[in-house]
Structure 1
Amino acid sequence: MMSALPSLGFAGIGLMGLPMCQRLLAAGYSLTVWNRNPQKCAPLVAAGARQVATAAQLCEHADLVLLCLANTEVVREVVFAQEGIAQGARAGQLLLDLSSLEPTATREMAAALARDTGMTWVDAPVSGGTSGAESGSLAIMVGGEAADVERVRPVLLALGQRVTHMGAVGAGQVSKVCNQMIVACNALVIAEVVALAERSGVDASLIAEALAGGFADSKPLQILAPQMAESRFEPVKWHVRTLLKDLDGAVKFAREQGSATPISGLAAQLMRLHGGQGFLEKDPATLVALYRDPVSAN
């Protein structure tokens, strides 16, 4: 006889969290949700989820508590602040963090949560964007004890097409740092390419098609190059601030490890320059504005 599905709690109903929760409900999981802006939970409640008033209350209804939050500071607050997850956690429960965080902070928080409550931590940052969350095709990089990873693997397979155990707690976040270094630097180079093609009289809308299947091809190229060429910046599928946060985190972590990251360091400064011009909440396709004449960038 098949065992019953574990009950799930979920904190963070944003661009990624909402479609993830919708997939979990569709897979038959019992889902309890919480968000700092409670109104964002409404579509999930309408689909059968239970909503609670505090993050701590997620632990009352869930075997596994999932997080999909903006950054390290927000995760620390949601887990350890008053009425946070640690207030309701108990031994035997597991926290599954899908956010992209600083690896060192992840290891510290995991150790503190286990020591204080007995709740164990698995870090499972994802790659694939909102389209991957909607289709269940995310790539998921996992850090944690082997038994804990196997416990959450069926849940992760409802969200992604590839689940890879990278090592102990924090290893998933290290892998996501590497992922974001490649993605962010790629996005900046794609912006340079599109602007160069435009300045030289080449139809930049053909770049992605022309390079498809070659060594320069990538998912960011196929997604971003057409958007940049067409100045199609809405709807916002992800944010410049997210790439900036991830690049800053990559440079900080590399410094802690004594590893050189000159390209990612430059990318962080270019991303900061772009964000400082009013683009932090905009789609990374707007990076092409860095290289266009001001008149043509609007």
Structure 2
Amino acid sequence: MIGMGAGGRQDEKLGYLGLGMMGFPMARRLLAAGHEVTVWNRSVGKAKALTEAGAKPAANPREVAASSSIIFMCVTDAAAVEDVVFGTEGFASVPSADKLVVDFSSIHPDKARAVAVRLNDANGMKWIDAPVSGGTKGAEEGTLAVMAGGDTADIERVRPYVLTMARRLTHMGPTGAGQMTKLCNQVIVGCAMAVLAEATRLAVNSGIDAGRLPEALAGGFADSIPLQLFVPRMVQGIHSPPLGHIATMLKDLDTVAEVAHDTSTPVPMASLAAQLFRLAKAARGADVDALEIYKISASQRG
């Protein structure tokens, strides 16, 4: 049954493109909340699992946009965003009719602004850049933090739907502000992963029980969600399902370096973290859990 959404609007028809580690559980939460959702994924397996749960399948991004008033998407990088939007089967050619795109992908802020302008010129669709933080665990549990850039009215229109998938949605400013906030997030998270890997290795090599670090440091200045979540996974070698891929973290930290260069911002810690993740990528692979950064410091003692 169709109910009333924010501002007296009827519940929107939703679309979701990109059903990877983050997109699949996010789209599943929309379905579980009773929303009508049309889905598409480049590989059909993930889409099939959701259609069996009640989602409507689409053959391409254009079909998703044609049948949806709000289009959510979460894809790998800027090239994938451009292909979904402007490719031969993209949704830039679909008449907008007040349609709105919410992009959960993490891309360069300048690219987000450029895509938003180009799409609006093409068919009038509005754009919100809304990258997320919280990893696969947050996506599954609906505890993600979403940082958004776009018009206030557009943010409020999508808020009730986003909060089905997330705990918090913060409007950070105009288009691109969400992506800029995500880069700040990645500076903190990427450096935290590197520092926690270092501390955990020091504990192991010194002969103390590294698995008790979260308990011992709880409530002190070193306590944090990353400490409590990451260290046990490092110590126990829990890397599946991954919280995020090494390649994704490295991509974001490299984008930080680009923006830092353009804004004359010193980022020595983020730059060092990026080099450590580059080493981890070479040693462990691009698509392994980012927390495998811990393994690059392994020795016969550890």
TM-score, reference length from structure 2:
0.94
Q: Deviations over 1:134-187 (max 9, x none)?
A: 111111101001111111111111111111110001101100000011000000
- Counterpart of 2:59 in 1: which secondary structure? coil
Note if 1:24 corresponds to 2:30: yes
Say if 1:90 and 1:119, in contact at 8 Å, map to a contact too: yes
Q: Where does residue 80 of structure 1 map in the other structure?
A: 86
Aligned pair partner of 1:259 in 265, 271, 283: 265
Q: Where does residue 110 of structure 1 map in the other structure?
A: 116
- Counterpart of 1:173 in 2: which secondary structure? helix
Say if 2:99 and 2:125, in contact at 8 Å, map to a contact too: yes
Q: Where does residue 195 of structure 1 map in the other structure?
A: 201
Q: Map of 1:130-279 to 2, 5 A cutoff?
A: 130-279=136-285
- Which deviates more, 158-167 or 210-219? 210-219
One-letter amino acid of the structure 1 residue matched with residue 238 of structure 2: R
Deviation at 1:210, TM superposition (A): 1.0
Q: Where does residue 16 of structure 2 map in the other structure?
A: 10
Deviation at 1:190, TM superposition (A): 0.4
Q: Where does residue 292 of structure 2 map in the other structure?
A: 286
Say if 1:102 and 1:249, in contact at 8 Å, map to a contact too: yes
Output the CA distance in 2 between the equivalents of 1:296 and 1:75: 45
Which sections of structure 2, spanning at least 5 residues, go unmatched? none
Output the CA distance in 1 between the equivalents of 2:231 and 2:177: 31
Deviation at 1:91, TM superposition (A): 4.3
Deviation at 1:253, TM superposition (A): 1.4
Output the CA distance in 1 between the equivalents of 2:149 and 2:168: 14
Output the CA distance in 2 between the equivalents of 1:126 and 1:159: 10
- Counterpart of 2:61 in 1: which secondary structure? coil
Note if 1:34 corresponds to 2:37: no
One-letter amino acid of the structure 1 residue matched with residue 74 of structure 2: C
Say if 1:56 and 1:89, in contact at 8 Å, map to a contact too: no
**% of aligned pairs identical?**
44
Say if 2:205 and 2:301, in contact at 8 Å, map to a contact too: no
Q: Where does residue 125 of structure 2 map in the other structure?
A: 119
Say if 1:104 and 1:253, in contact at 8 Å, map to a contact too: no
Q: Deviations over 1:77-120 (max 9, x none)?
A: 11111111212242411110011111110001101111111001
Q: Where does residue 70 of structure 2 map in the other structure?
A: 64
Compute the RMSD of aligned alpha carbons.
Answer: 1.4
Say if 2:284 and 2:292, in contact at 8 Å, map to a contact too: no
Runs of 4+ in structure 1 displaced over 6 angstroms?
Answer: none
CA distance 1:296–1:234, shift in 2 (3 Å)? farther
Deviation at 1:296, TM superposition (A): 6.2
CA distance 1:200–1:97, shift in 2 (3 Å)? same
Deviation at 1:292, TM superposition (A): 1.7
Deviation at 1:245, TM superposition (A): 0.9
> How many residues align structurally?
296
